[in-house]
Amino acid sequence: MLDERKKTILKITVKDYIESAQPVSSRVLAKKYLLGWSPATIRNEMADLEEEGYLIQPHTSAGRIPSDRGYRFYVDFLLDGYELYEEDIRMVNSIIFSSLEWENLLKKVAELMSERTTFIGVVLFPQLKNATLKKIEFVDLKEEAVVIIVTTSTGIVKERIIKLSRPINEEELQIIRVRLNKEFENKELQDVYWILTKDKKNFILPQEIVDTLIDILRELLYTGREEGVFVSGLSKILQHLEFQNINKVKTLIDVLEEEKTLSSLLFSAFLNKGLTILIGQEINIPELSDCSVVTTIYSLGGSITGSIGMIGPKRMKYERVLAFVELVGKTLSEKLVQILGE
């Protein structure tokens, strides 16, 4: 374990580097922060910290910057406390409690997160493993075209247009509607999915309808909308100094357009069930090794859970981002409680 002086030096080194983006030298530490030790002393301590893997020297005659391990120690043990801003609270509330349909709301949340922090905001679609089916509805468009609409207990709606191979009139549709709803209302989506796939042939229903229902359920259950995530803030993050060179930008954009990568990244937030930080290599995505990721979940009991996250340079103000992400997660959950009850 590090002694007090080493902790202090590490802490100030991390803080200064986050602010200045310049390797921190012993001279700056001694002079700017008036620590009471001479540069030479500090130099010795920093050499020790480097040996133990907390600091890195970009080249021989440069100051030092924190390693992943240095950031990790800082975040785990040296943080002074979270910094929650009034203005953030106001904005988060005003977006989340405005009336919007689901998808639009989540998209706005992603935009808001990047807007307020200049980092990337990511929102994972709600995962519905424990939700129940509320209603199946059919809307007859014309001739053989029908819209099938499924509503879940969590208020998520998913629809699809299908073209039938033979015309179905409103009476017949009504029979199907009543029958399906009687059978499936308030059943878990999971179960409905299994019943439909197993007994596929035994339903005396137009095959297209059964197939489409299965399709809709699968999407609701396993992927939100195609591994759905909303990502926002590319244009914001490029202003940071770590993304000045074109190749880093390219690899970053490659990753961020790959929805699968992001959704599985956010998905892992479920396991931790709370505020999580991953720093650099810990993220386990080489292209993001200059970044940190802060995630949390939003939820209502067990029936609906999703997660949100921010991706930014490792050089981020953790005090602020941690507080902010927590705020957004909590506010989203509150909104769920308000609408769907406890």
Partner DNA sequence: TTTTAGCACTCTCCTTATGGGATTGCTAAA
Partner DNA sequence: TTTAGCAATCCCATAAGGAGAGTGCTAAAA
How many other CB atoms are found less than 10 A from the CB of residue 178?
A: 10
Q: What is the 3-state secondary structure (H, E, C) of 262-301?
A: HHHHHHHHHHHCCCEEEEHHHHCCHHHCCEEEEEEEEEEC
Decide if 111 contacts 236 (C-beta within 8 A). no
User: Considering CB distances under 5 to 8 angstroms, the limit depending on partner class, which of DNA, its own copies, none binds residue 43?
Assistant: DNA
- Nearest approach in angstroms of CB 312 to its own copies is 16
Q: At what angle do helices 259-272 and 246-257 cross, to 10 degrees?
A: 70
- Binding residue (CB under 8 A) for its own copies from 75, 157, 195, 275: 157
- Nearest approach in angstroms of CB 26 to DNA is 4
- Nearest approach in angstroms of CB 237 to DNA is 22
User: Considering CB distances under 5 to 8 angstroms, the limit depending on partner class, which of its own copies, DNA, none binds residue 95?
Assistant: none
Decide if 243 contacts 249 (C-beta within 8 A). yes
- Binding residue (CB under 8 A) for its own copies from 21, 62, 141, 175: 141
The two most distant CA atoms of the chain are separated, in Å, by: 90
Query: Distance between the two ends of the chain, CA-based, in angstroms?
Result: 45
Residue 226 tokens read as: 């195609």
User: Considering CB distances under 5 to 8 angstroms, the limit depending on partner class, which of DNA, its own copies, none binds residue 61?
Assistant: DNA
Specify the DSSP class assigned to residue 202. Answer: G
State which of positions 19-48 bind DNA (CB under 7 A).
Answer: 22-23, 25-28, 37-41, 43-44, 46-47
> What span, in angstroms and rounded, lies between the C-alpha atoms of 95 and 80?
29
Tell whether residue 232 is a contact of its own copies (CB under 8 A).
Answer: yes
Distances (CA, A) of 183 to 104, 179, 186, 191, 203: 32, 6, 9, 11, 12
The helix/strand/coil state of 192 is: helix
Decide if 243 contacts 252 (C-beta within 8 A). yes
- Binding residue (CB under 7 A) for DNA from 10, 14, 16, 63: 63
Number of residues that bind its own copies (CB under 8 A): 48
For residue 94, give every residue at least 6 positions away whose Cβ sits within 8 Å of its Cβ, in sequence order, or none: none
In the complex with its own copies, the residue whose CB is nearer, 81 or 341, is 341
Tell whether residue 36 is a contact of its own copies (CB under 8 A).
Answer: no
Number of residues that bind DNA (CB under 7 A): 23
Q: What residues pair up with 276 in beta bridges, in sequence order?
A: 295
In the complex with its own copies, the residue whose CB is nearer, 77 or 161, is 161
- Binding residue (CB under 8 A) for its own copies from 59, 142, 166, 201: 142
User: Considering CB distances under 5 to 8 angstroms, the limit depending on partner class, which of DNA, its own copies, none binds residue 155?
Assistant: its own copies
- Give me the residues that bind DNA (CB under 7 A), please: 22-23, 25-28, 37-41, 43-44, 46-47, 50, 57, 59-64
- Give me the residues that bind its own copies (CB under 8 A), please: 99-104, 107, 134-135, 137, 139, 141-143, 145, 147, 149, 151, 153, 155, 157-163, 212, 215, 225-226, 232, 234-235, 238-239, 244-246, 249-250, 253-254, 257, 338-341
